[in-house]
Amino acid sequence: MFNLFRTGVLIAALTALFMVVGYFIGGQTGIFIALAVALGTNLFAYWNADKMVLSMQNAREIDRGAAPELFDMVGRLAQRAGLPMPKVYIIETDQPNAFATGRNPQNAAVAVSSGLLRRLNANEVAGVVAHELAHVKHRDTLTMTVTATLAGAISMLAQFGLFFGGGNNRNNPLGGVGALLMVFLAPLAAAMVQMAVSRTREYEADRGGAEISGEPLALASALTKIANAHDTTVNIAAERNPAMAHLYISNPLRGVGTDNLFSTHPATENRIAQLQKIAAELGETSYSQPPHAEFASSPDNPGWRVPPFSAQDDTPRRGPWG
């Protein structure tokens, strides 16, 4: 119930921001135009934002035949979490990362990068997938996906209005200055609203993921590897669509600090410290290598195979695995 309330508040705040942008670009007429655009965008985002996000991040759906180990792992973890089997996607980038999307658990999708599968062992991948399933279980995915779509639409509206001379509208209280301000301030305000999707959801998903997988230190190890690879890999799709950054388990953008006013994620060291506390609560004192038997190779699961990059993949290979 709380997450539904939070989603409603965010949509209302972004709709109000749409109207403010419309007012400074087109006066009172701009308010009504912006309101109509906002309502249409809200409806579109609710029903189609997940598909739009997956497309913008160059994610491709896979079946069990393409990656049986990953597909079966997601199924086991979803069952453990009490969730329906989500769709499974691969993001073709060397950067290790993952996200979940979908308006509800019945229409959820989990996307992991090829880089994640190549750099992490099976237990670490399980920890990351469990984290994303915790987002699905907590119904964070609707909030995160709709916010990303609307924030991007606000920026587009501001630039669209200036391009078509909205600043010359005589009903605009600040004329061209108002339109110009919106070009710079509207994306900033949208980013601030995105921050209202509290970073505590990441801590909550870390805890939920640790409970689902049963191995908080495996998730901590995964976060460490993801953070260490950040400076040597680039997620081109995320860089082109920075409004989507908060969807990922770790910020996919380069040159972005953590734990500041505009951060989408808590600092990795803080997340690891929480996971270490959770591990102590569960009586786990160390992370075992190689992976535990449940996610390791077996006669029925002959190895951890990674689907190859497609011919369309243009991600630079900057790490030692590239």
Tell me which residues are annotated as active site: 132
Positions of E strands within 22-168: 59-62, 87-91, 98-101, 109-113
Residue that the structure tokens 């989990």 belong to: 110
Residues contacting 15, CB < 8 A, separation 6+: 35, 38, 39, 42
**In this structure, how many other beta carbons lie within 10 angstroms of the beta carbon of residue 254?**
13
87-91 vs 109-113, strand pairing mode: parallel
Residue that the structure tokens 């505590």 belong to: 200
Positions of E strands within the chain: 59-62, 87-91, 98-101, 109-113
Distance CA 138, CA 132 (A): 10
Distance CA 234, CA 231 (A): 8
Among residues 57, 12, 6, 38, the alpha carbon closest in space to that of 252 is found at 57
Angle at 142 between CA 21 and CA 61, to 5 degrees: 115
DSSP, collapsed to helix, strand or coil, labels residue 260 as coil
DSSP, collapsed to helix, strand or coil, labels residue 287 as coil
